[in-house]
Amino acid sequence: MSGRDPAEAHRSATPLELFVDLCFVVAVAQASESLHEALAHGHYASGALRFALVFFTVWWAWMNFTWFASAYDPDDTPYRLTVLVQITGSLVLAAGVARAFDHGDLLVITLGYAVLRTALAALWLRAGLADSARRRTTLRFAAGVTICQLGWIALLFLPQTVQLPGVIVMILAEVLVPVWAQSAGMTPWHPHHIAERYELFTLIVLGESVAAATVAVRGAFDRNHSTGELYALAGGGLLMAFSMWWLYFTKPAHTLLATTHQAHSRRFTWAYGHYLVFASAAAEGAGLAAYADHLAGHTGASSVAPAMTVTVPAAVFLVTVWAVHLRPHQRRAAECLPFAFSAVGILLAAWLPAPALLTGLLLAGLVAVVTVRQRNGDGGGTPHPAEQQCVTGQTSVR
């Protein structure tokens, strides 16, 4: 386990990595379903907060495994067995999602996380023994993962009143570990491989979102067969899924990663920014399901809050995909305007009839604009210098 070649030809995801993704999506589904139940009961703020915290553990465990495997995967028997232990931890974590979401009980989810992280720390130690050139980096990773895991376990012994601040502190500590470790030297990750891994997980999360929304809409139709709003919701949800997929895959990520291979800050922005991409995609399915329940329930309550469970995740997905995935490819500041107008329109759609359909139409319209620009050679192919990027407060629209 001395490190793989970052320029290795034809590097792609392995069957074991695909198996890991499929097992992690169980935890994603549990988090999405828990968010759906919270939104359906009107617990919008608390549900969103708990979803954000629970989803972090799922995403962070997946991301750490992904970047390690990109740099060191030897695909031998000890490595496979260690990864299978991590899969076991992800399933235990998934089993604890509902308890953490509903009752704030962190025991099971922390146990699963401990299994995951202990196995990862062992892999970092193994890499440190074999890769003398990067031993300082690998040992920092092993130490950071271990210390953070001890911190998570210590949270179990604290009163529930102080657990939330403790969780926030631990999240900050977790995200700082890779920054600290790789300041001693970069691991030999592969740009094409990392891009493919993120693309595959995006597909999985979008697929889970579609599945969750489909089940909920079908149930709503079973309870109420003649509501035109449900047809608008179904059509809008389909347009949203298609458009979200199209926008994400407008530009290949590996060109951005290869260009910024030595740019730590931009690489971390891209990698960490995908938390919002994945979380908003998963939350979209829960929001569509909650809005379907609202339409079928005929509660007589205002529809603005339920509609925002559809529009807010879509706007977050759009803004984040643009900010971390598409903006570095753009050549002129004005190219951000269609994204900005679409995001504002999506948020305002919560106050209008058929918000899901309007959101889907706005996203589809944005796809059309982006596609026409790309076909006309106006979409950019490589990352542009930072001084010409569309960044609020740094570059004005000229």
CB neighbour list of residue 233: distance below 8 Å, 6 or more residues apart? 217, 220, 288, 291, 292, 295, 354, 356, 357
How long a stretch of residues is the chain?
A: 398
pLDDT of residue 40: 86
The token duo for 360 is 């889907």
pLDDT of residue 255: 72
CA distance 327 to 331: 9
pLDDT of residue 302: 67
CB neighbour list of residue 382: distance below 8 Å, 6 or more residues apart? 255, 259, 329
pLDDT of residue 228: 80
pLDDT of residue 322: 92
Ranges of the chain whose pLDDT falls below 70:
224-226, 258-265, 298-302, 377-398
pLDDT of residue 388: 37
pLDDT of residue 369: 92
| Mean pLDDT estimate for the chain | 86
CA distance 5 to 132: 15
From start to end of 80-195, where are the E strands? Answer: none
What percent of the chain clears pLDDT 90, i.e. is strictly above it? 52
pLDDT of residue 215: 81
Angle, CA of 113, 116 and 119, to the nearest 5°: 145
Give, as one character, the DSSP assignment of residue 219. H
Residues 73, 120: contact at Cβ < 8 Å? no
Angle, CA of 193, 197 and 202, to the nearest 5°: 150
What's the pTM value of the predicted model, to 2 decimals? 0.87
pLDDT of residue 264: 53
pLDDT of residue 301: 56
Q: Give the domains, in start order, of the chain with CATH numbers.
A: 15-182 (no CATH), 191-388 (1.20.1410)
**38: helix, strand or coil:** helix
pLDDT of residue 66: 94
